[in-house]
Structure 1
């Protein structure tokens, strides 16, 4: 019977080296996987100790996280940017499910789904993730209002326009069925002669200053029309009268 390769033979050395590599890989995988597990269960970025009736959360993907003028654009609201660059809806859901806020914001402004459709998720799957976000919100923060911003018609993702339109239609329908959800349509504000206007950075995907200015107009109107008058009076020095 042939003897087993000894530790000093070439085969034995190779086997020992392979075993050490396998062990090192297993340890690395365990550590890295565990760290990824911990990171995935962190709250959304941008958490703040500031609370009160005038706090708004801005939750979403890079269109939110890159809104550098947000706090100035939304004054006197206390705008907390909790966006995640490049995030999918599933990632946002996982993070907000582990949020540790002691008090709900006055409202949540939500923009996501753009990446999901571009990465190959179907409209139905993307809508399901929106419903999941709203379910998590309801579990954590009850009837806190959510302002769902429609997906933007960007030059880079113009080939996804049909999918975006179908998602937007369902999002509008969901808002019509729930008192805690408002749909904010920004599509027409970003089109010029039926095509994306000059409201984007050079990448053809992210908004420029004028694009965010148009978003701000639509969002302020939606906030003024849908939040309680007592909240508006508290958070604004001069409150536009509805119906005026």
Structure 2
């Protein structure tokens, strides 16, 4: 589906959002010119939890990972830029973390799910053989009031992907929670939102078996 048609699915305010990330996307494109990306990579994309994953390749040695997350993005932004941060690389696998910012911006779990479906259908249409992997929305301490909507989004997305071929729903919540169901504080930075290396180490252990 042409990118212009994708935009028709969302409010015109997306045009304003586009400018917030255009410089990051152009930086990716410039980097591709100076350092060509691997062929058929595993593209990690989504919001700041991907962008801030320092030394991502070191966590998954011998895997052709390509980091294409852009901070603060919502699923609507990933949809807008899919034809620049996902499709051109012809990845064998897409690993996506997104949706948390959508809920924090006021979207319901249902709306997050619908955005995910739009993105998935576009990627599947353009890249029919690519494995689509969704990392569950994490339980950030600073966003406790949104946990119910995030859980709803995770539930809907998991059920949807279970019915699609060549998809994976990776639930990272269990390794980030204490026995009482509260987030492990030591996994997060002082903002109680973004993760420390300890958090990424737990993600690595859960994600590793899913990577192609």
Give TM-score, length-normalised by structure 2.
Answer: 0.81
Query: Highest Rg: 1 or 2?
Result: 1
CA contact (8 A) 1:65 1:83 kept: yes
1:51 aligns with 2:34: no
Give the alignment's Cα RMSD to 1 decimal.
2.6
Aligned to 1:196: 183
The one-character-per-residue Cα deviations of 1:165-195 (angstroms, maximum 9, x if unpaired) are: 1111111111210112100000010001211
The 2-side partners of 1:102 and 1:61 are apart by 19
Aligned to 2:154: 168
Aligned to 1:77: 63
CA contact (8 A) 2:109 2:151 kept: no
Alignment of 1:107-186 (within 5 A): 107-186=93-172
CA contact (8 A) 2:73 2:101 kept: yes
CA contact (8 A) 1:154 1:205 kept: yes
CA contact (8 A) 1:87 1:115 kept: yes
Aligned to 1:14: none
The 2-side partners of 1:122 and 1:201 are apart by 26
CA contact (8 A) 1:43 1:96 kept: no
Structure with larger RCO (C-alpha < 8 A, sep 6+): 2
CA contact (8 A) 2:45 2:85 kept: no
Shift of 1:152: 0.4
Shift of 1:143: 2.4
Structure 1 unaligned regions, length at least 5? 1-32, 228-244
Aligned to 1:207: 195
Give TM-score, length-normalised by structure 1.
Answer: 0.71
SS of alignment partner, residue 130 of structure 1 = helix
Of stretches 99-108 and 131-140 in structure 1, the one that deviates more from structure 2 is 99-108
Q: 1:100 to 1:154 in 2, by over 3 A?
A: closer
Q: Tell me which stretches of 4 or more aligned residues in structure 1 moved more than 2 Å.
A: 35-40, 42-53, 97-103
Q: 1:172 to 1:38 in 2, by over 3 A?
A: closer
Aligned to 2:208: 220
- Greater share of helix residues, 1 or 2? 2
Alignment of 1:27-66 (within 5 A): 36=19, 39=22, 45=28, 48=32, 49-53=36-40, 55-66=41-52
CA contact (8 A) 2:74 2:98 kept: yes
Count matched residues: 190
SS of alignment partner, residue 71 of structure 1 = helix
Shift of 1:97: 2.9
